[in-house]
Chains A and B, each alone.
Chain A
Amino acid sequence: MSAKQNQRPASKQGSGVVGQPLNRVDGRLKVTGGARFAAEFPHDQMAYAVLIGSTIANGRIKGFDTSAAKRVPGVLAIITHENAPKLRPVATNPAEGDAAGRRVPLQSPVIYYHGQYIAVVVAETLEQTQQAAALVRVSYDEQPPAADMERERGKAYPPKGKVAGKPADTMRGNTDTGLAAANVRVDEIYRTPTEHHNPMEPHATIAVWDGDKLTIYDATQYTYGVRHAMATTFGVPEENVRCICKFTGGAFGCKGTVWSHVSLAAAAARVARRPVKLVTTRQQMFSNMGHRAETEQHVVLGATRAGKLTAIVHEGLSHTSTFDEYVEPFSKATHMLYACDNFKASQRLVALNVGTPTYMRAPGETSGMFALESALDELAYKLNLDPIQLRLVNYADTDPDTKLPWSTKLLKECYRTGAEHFGWARRKPAPRSMRDGRYLLGLGMATAVYPVNHFPSSARVRIQSDGSAIVESSTHDLGTGTYTVLTQIACETLGLPPERVEVIIGDTNLPKAMVSGGSSTVMSVGSSVQGAARAALAKLVETARADTRSPLYGASADQIVASDGRLALKSNDARGETYRDTLARAGMKEVEGSYDTEFNDKEKKFSSHAFGAQFAEVRVDPDFGEVRVTRFTGVFDIGRVMNMKTGQSQMKGGIIMGIGMALMEETVLDTNSGRLVNRDLAEYHVPVHADVPQLDVVLLENFDEHASPIGAKGAGEIGIVGAAAAVANAVYHATGVRVRELPITLDKLLGKGALA
């Protein structure tokens, strides 16, 4: 299938605004400070809550001495497990919306990990609260922690649940036979460290009780999830809880489920009988909001001399907490990416004294594709085959896992366009064969893939008597551009310019949307907005046709088109009238349309994924092993692109995060105490501007009607997938040193002794 065949007009009707690089409609609010984030809603009588974290990683609390803390002026409450209100556990099914972990805070003296919340202090001012929190003395009965996956590997166990919807051990064909038939084999271990999401905005909650009714302002990816979790925790009806989140300052997965500070803020507000604001610290975000789990992945590839894969084995370990089971599904993409009859996946878990891991941008693919795409690169060198050619030899024309046809797949196009843009042809095949003055130069590539996830969702569109329109859904803007893209989708159907459409989101008083995770928001909510806009427009058309005074009286609905805020005959634009005229004459304030998007994923006829190809150039100092990325090209098939600017920004953000993963990101535990040692942004390194070169991002034209009614396949996550592997492969090409353990810091290159 070529790009051309899949191409659809940028706009089927209306203004053609979809796809345009429209500036963010909330941009002005953001840069002028007018955008109100969760912690920024003022309330009379607001009190402040500060959480105290455990300083040990394993053991029990013996007791608290709160006498000095209580003497601090303004202290309203000090809540510990000894006096906390009873909080009910919440299910951990994220699809229901939900708690990130089963453990309910402040209900027992048992300590499972460093930083675990053990007390909440509430006082009149933030300063008083912080001072009192610093004066709470805690005594512990400390036990040695399990803080090292390597040391605990003997206790690895099979996950009780599924791994990304599949059994933890799966086999297709027979990998033993496949490996026996192989001429060439790669058999290596790859490691990825614990990483943290680190959004700019910390987790923050304001809780306001009015009798048994709770209003909660929360930094979240899932307002309805917060509502459900709070209703369950406090035993009140769901309709008694309202969650509001107008802007989220980045999330990357750590705000997708409900962490325990949310219920602690609400509990504190109930105890103190005051509105309570709770903003977590950066340090607390390292302990209590999940992380990408460490992995150790064993990849075995067998291939013929021509490069045809005869077997793929992808197995290994990741860590979870001692009280919850979270599996980092690193083998997920390996099931379906390359054509291979013999495939085996197997995952095991090691329980550590850490907080429960969670989803982090492309969970599974991000760690797994580092291993798989590094292994493919190793195979390419063994076969003396171009890495792109090797991938084409094993190109899957249908999904090898489900055997379904692809809904659309422009991966070959991604390779070809990427190679052209990046200048792949200039790459000399041999490692350590290219230089830029003193520096070793390396070029590497990797494939990207991410599945289509779409969720049922609802939206409402109201065309107003002044000719403008209001779009409503409870969905979220994580900084991704939801406001802007929903505006464009509504404009397209309604035939209105962007400045006449207002999007209102982030409130459980609005129609329900699911979690903004899994790259699902635009596909799901966007489709609902399109449906609701059509429904509202249909009502407007009916109103006009039914009105004897309207120039469109009696015209058939399919002869009427909407554009520039007018309804008119297709055949005669002069015969028409503005929305305002239609509604004014009818004496109506507005017409309203609603739409609930449902996806029938039980009887799938197609396998739907976004695809991409990542290309990195690195420069390595041969004496010091310092690696800098000098160029990067990413080409992606994400279905229809709703906004070329925000879409490209999503890819760039993903690639930058991938560069960080490749070269610097790593959360370190002190294995003796189980404490985190680098839990701030000075010591936990993410890329700064100087680490990021010019990023060349290409989004191919496509329209995937099977992925979503609006043709999109999802943009949030695929940008990071494969990016780290592309960098790692480039480092090998530059130096001839294969680093299989991220991040590729200079000591790992120096330690190999292979540099000058």
Chain B
Amino acid sequence: MNPFTYKRATDEADAVREVANGKNAKFLGGGTNLVDLMKMGVETPDELVDINRLALKRIEQTPQGLRIGALASNSEVANHRLVREQFPVLSEAILAGASPQLRNMATVGGNLLQRTRCYYFMDTSFPCNKRVPGSGCSAIPGFNRIHAILGASDKCIAVHPSDMCVALAALDAIVRVAGPAGARQIPLVDFHRLPGDTPQIETNLRPDELIVAVDLPNSPFARRSRYLKIRDRAQYAFALVSVAAALDVQQGRINAARLALGGVAHKPWRALDAEKVLTGARADAQTFRAAAEAALKGAQPQQHNAFKVELARRAIVRLLTEVAHETKGGAA
């Protein structure tokens, strides 16, 4: 680990100022990912700005929905009554990830910035375009069972590891940030980027911007949203494939749908094409299969992960079927 300085920020402005001034500074939240990566030499900040004393932990009802402070722990969010009632998919997604110990430490803001678990990214002896732009991708010719099938590039096939973000993508969440130029809002689906030619740039957050909150807009049918995660062991494993879904079904017909996938792409993958198929269609097996086809259209598997394509299709059908059954109005 490289030596670094440590500063405890007193308020948002102080935190932003510190990082804007620092040449190579990072915010420190729960540290569950950043500190690991520092030990491995993947992250080498010269300064850590500890934001844990900032007043960003609240989870509160607003007229527009729920506002979750960036420093709320994953455990607090997952177990919060309002989250469980209004956005169960978020609670389920968070509880499907990591372990209780990690969730107690990990923050919402940190989870948004969680970095990939690509083996080749986490070991500095491998070439990796995300870590050292232009050095090459070792995963493409390597062991790529856990890698992307959608939206990847010939520079990077890493996947975003977060479960929470998949739920947020389905819920049309808004990320509120503060920066030297003032506050702004970024829709979650635009927050993360596809790798393209610049896999080292993972989000549209600017380096000196601080995530302060995540807004979840009101959605009556999100009350029956669900998360399904498929993995190599029962707990404490990253998703091979995961699905977040919410359906508004009236008289057997789908008025509105939200569908997002995890474990398949460089960002939480909102399946808009599948939502188009679902919207207005009958809530039946045929529709769900068509939606699954649409979601995986254009999938490009690697040598070791072709199974993910069919697995994702089946996961989508399973979850949509279950959500439809649980939804008032029922399946046709």
Give chain A's interface residues, CB within 8 Å of chain B.
55, 127, 130-131, 134, 623-624, 626, 628, 663-664, 668, 670-673, 675, 677-678, 682-683, 685, 687-691, 745-747, 750-751
In the complex, the chain A residue whose C-beta lies closest to that of B230 is: A624
- Across the interface, which residues of B come within 8 angstroms of A626, CB to CB? 230
- Assuming the contacts A623-B314, A751-B307, asked whether A746 and B143 have C-beta atoms less than 8 A apart, the reply is no
B182 beta carbon closer than 8 Å to chain A: no
- Assuming the contacts A131-B2, A134-B1, asked whether A750 and B307 have C-beta atoms less than 8 A apart, the reply is yes
B123 beta carbon closer than 8 Å to chain A: yes
Residues of B in contact, count (CB < 8 Å): 30
- Across the interface, which residues of A come within 8 angstroms of B307, CB to CB? 746-747, 750-751
6 pairs, A vs B, C-beta closer than 8 Å: A55-B125, A127-B1, A623-B317, A673-B142, A677-B120, A690-B234
- Contact check, A682 vs B234: say whether CB atoms are below 8 A apart: no
- Contact check, B314 vs A624: say whether CB atoms are below 8 A apart: yes
CB distance from A31 to the nearest CB of B (A): 18
- Contact check, A688 vs B235: say whether CB atoms are below 8 A apart: yes
- Across the interface, which residues of B come within 8 angstroms of A689, CB to CB? 235
CB distance from B322 to the nearest CB of A (A): 11
- Assuming the contacts A675-B125, A687-B233, A747-B145, asked whether A670 and B318 have C-beta atoms less than 8 A apart, the reply is no
- Across the interface, which residues of B come within 8 angstroms of A683, CB to CB? 117, 119
In the complex, the chain B residue whose C-beta lies closest to that of A663 is: B233
Q: Which of A127, A672, A688 contacts B236 (CB 8 A)?
A: A688
CB distance from A746 to the nearest CB of B (A): 7
In the complex, the chain B residue whose C-beta lies closest to that of A669 is: B143
Task: Flag B29-57 by CB within 8 Å of A: 1 or 0 each.
Answer: 00000000000010000000000000000
5 tightest CB-CB pairs across the interface, nearest first?
A: A55-B125, A690-B234, A677-B119, A747-B307, A690-B235
CB distance from B125 to the nearest CB of A (A): 4
- Contact check, A664 vs B126: say whether CB atoms are below 8 A apart: no
B162 beta carbon closer than 8 Å to chain A: no
- Contact check, A672 vs B141: say whether CB atoms are below 8 A apart: yes
- Contact check, B318 vs A685: say whether CB atoms are below 8 A apart: no
- Across the interface, which residues of B come within 8 angstroms of A747, CB to CB? 145, 307, 311
How far apart are the CA atoms of A682 and B123 in the complex, in Å? 14
- Across the interface, which residues of A come within 8 angstroms of B138, CB to CB? 670, 672-673
- Contact check, B237 vs A685: say whether CB atoms are below 8 A apart: yes
- Across the interface, which residues of B come within 8 angstroms of A690, CB to CB? 233-235
Give chain B's interface residues, CB within 8 Å of chain A.
1-3, 41, 117, 119-120, 123, 125-126, 138, 141-143, 145, 230, 232-237, 240, 307, 310-311, 314-315, 317-318
How far apart are the CA atoms of A195 and B180 in the complex, in Å? 51
How far apart are the CA atoms of A687 and B310 in the complex, in Å? 26
- Contact check, A750 vs B311: say whether CB atoms are below 8 A apart: yes
Q: Which of A55, A131, A685 contacts B3 (CB 8 A)?
A: A131
- Contact check, A670 vs B233: say whether CB atoms are below 8 A apart: no
In the complex, the chain B residue whose C-beta lies closest to that of A666 is: B232
- Across the interface, which residues of A come within 8 angstroms of B230, CB to CB? 624, 626, 746
- Contact check, A624 vs B125: say whether CB atoms are below 8 A apart: no
- Contact check, A688 vs B125: say whether CB atoms are below 8 A apart: no
- Contact check, B234 vs A628: say whether CB atoms are below 8 A apart: yes
- Contact check, A746 vs B125: say whether CB atoms are below 8 A apart: no
- Contact check, A675 vs B235: say whether CB atoms are below 8 A apart: no
- Contact check, B310 vs A750: say whether CB atoms are below 8 A apart: yes
- Contact check, B233 vs A691: say whether CB atoms are below 8 A apart: yes
In the complex, the chain B residue whose C-beta lies closest to that of A751 is: B307
How far apart are the CA atoms of A691 and B235 in the complex, in Å? 8
- Contact check, B41 vs A678: say whether CB atoms are below 8 A apart: no
In the complex, the chain A residue whose C-beta lies closest to that of B3 is: A131
How far apart are the CA atoms of A747 and B147 in the complex, in Å? 14
How far apart are the CA atoms of A678 and B120 in the complex, in Å? 10
How far apart are the CA atoms of A10 and B199 in the complex, in Å? 68
CB distance from B117 to the nearest CB of A (A): 7
CB distance from A673 to the nearest CB of B (A): 7
- Across the interface, which residues of A come within 8 angstroms of B41, CB to CB? 134
- Contact check, A691 vs B234: say whether CB atoms are below 8 A apart: yes
- Contact check, A746 vs B232: say whether CB atoms are below 8 A apart: yes
- Contact check, B125 vs A670: say whether CB atoms are below 8 A apart: no
How far apart are the CA atoms of A745 and B231 in the complex, in Å? 9
In the complex, the chain B residue whose C-beta lies closest to that of A686 is: B233
CB distance from A622 to the nearest CB of B (A): 10
- Contact check, A670 vs B311: say whether CB atoms are below 8 A apart: no
How far apart are the CA atoms of A673 and B120 in the complex, in Å? 11
- Across the interface, which residues of A come within 8 angstroms of B233, CB to CB? 663-664, 685, 687-688, 690-691
- Contact check, A134 vs B142: say whether CB atoms are below 8 A apart: no
- Assuming the contacts A670-B143, A677-B142, A751-B307, asked whether A664 and B232 have C-beta atoms less than 8 A apart, the reply is yes
Given A623-B315, A691-B234, 9 new contacts (CB under 8 A): A130-B1, A628-B234, A664-B233, A672-B138, A685-B233, A689-B235, A691-B235, A745-B232, A750-B307
How far apart are the CA atoms of A688 and B2 in the complex, in Å? 33
How far apart are the CA atoms of A687 and B119 in the complex, in Å? 20
- Across the interface, which residues of B come within 8 angstroms of A131, CB to CB? 1-3
- Contact check, A134 vs B318: say whether CB atoms are below 8 A apart: no
- Across the interface, which residues of B come within 8 angstroms of A687, CB to CB? 233
- Across the interface, which residues of B come within 8 angstroms of A664, CB to CB? 232-233
How far apart are the CA atoms of A646 and B20 in the complex, in Å? 58
- Across the interface, which residues of A come within 8 angstroms of B145, CB to CB? 747
- Across the interface, which residues of B come within 8 angstroms of A628, CB to CB? 234
CB distance from B153 to the nearest CB of A (A): 20
How far apart are the CA atoms of A678 and B318 in the complex, in Å? 31
In the complex, the chain A residue whose C-beta lies closest to that of B39 is: A130
CB distance from B114 to the nearest CB of A (A): 13
How far apart are the CA atoms of A711 and B240 in the complex, in Å? 49
How far apart are the CA atoms of A240 and B314 in the complex, in Å? 66
In the complex, the chain A residue whose C-beta lies closest to that of B142 is: A670
How far apart are the CA atoms of A688 and B100 in the complex, in Å? 13
In the complex, the chain A residue whose C-beta lies closest to that of B1 is: A130
- Contact check, B117 vs A682: say whether CB atoms are below 8 A apart: yes
In the complex, the chain B residue whose C-beta lies closest to that of A281 is: B39
How far apart are the CA atoms of A103 and B85 in the complex, in Å? 62
- Contact check, A673 vs B119: say whether CB atoms are below 8 A apart: no
In the complex, the chain A residue whose C-beta lies closest to that of B238 is: A682
CB distance from A690 to the nearest CB of B (A): 4
- Across the interface, which residues of B come within 8 angstroms of A751, CB to CB? 307
In the complex, the chain A residue whose C-beta lies closest to that of B240 is: A746
- Across the interface, which residues of A come within 8 angstroms of B240, CB to CB? 746
- Contact check, B142 vs A672: say whether CB atoms are below 8 A apart: yes
CB distance from A753 to the nearest CB of B (A): 9
- Across the interface, which residues of A come within 8 angstroms of B141, CB to CB? 672
- Contact check, B232 vs A624: say whether CB atoms are below 8 A apart: no
In the complex, the chain A residue whose C-beta lies closest to that of B228 is: A624
- Contact check, A624 vs B315: say whether CB atoms are below 8 A apart: yes
- Contact check, A673 vs B126: say whether CB atoms are below 8 A apart: yes
In the complex, the chain B residue whose C-beta lies closest to that of A753 is: B310
CB distance from A428 to the nearest CB of B (A): 26
How far apart are the CA atoms of A750 and B241 in the complex, in Å? 14
How far apart are the CA atoms of A668 and B311 in the complex, in Å? 22
- Contact check, A746 vs B2: say whether CB atoms are below 8 A apart: no
In the complex, the chain B residue whose C-beta lies closest to that of A670 is: B142
Q: Which of A671, A677, A746 contacts B311 (CB 8 A)?
A: A746
How far apart are the CA atoms of A31 and B51 in the complex, in Å? 34
How far apart are the CA atoms of A664 and B1 in the complex, in Å? 31
- Across the interface, which residues of A come within 8 angstroms of B123, CB to CB? 675, 677
CB distance from B31 to the nearest CB of A (A): 16
CB distance from B16 to the nearest CB of A (A): 29
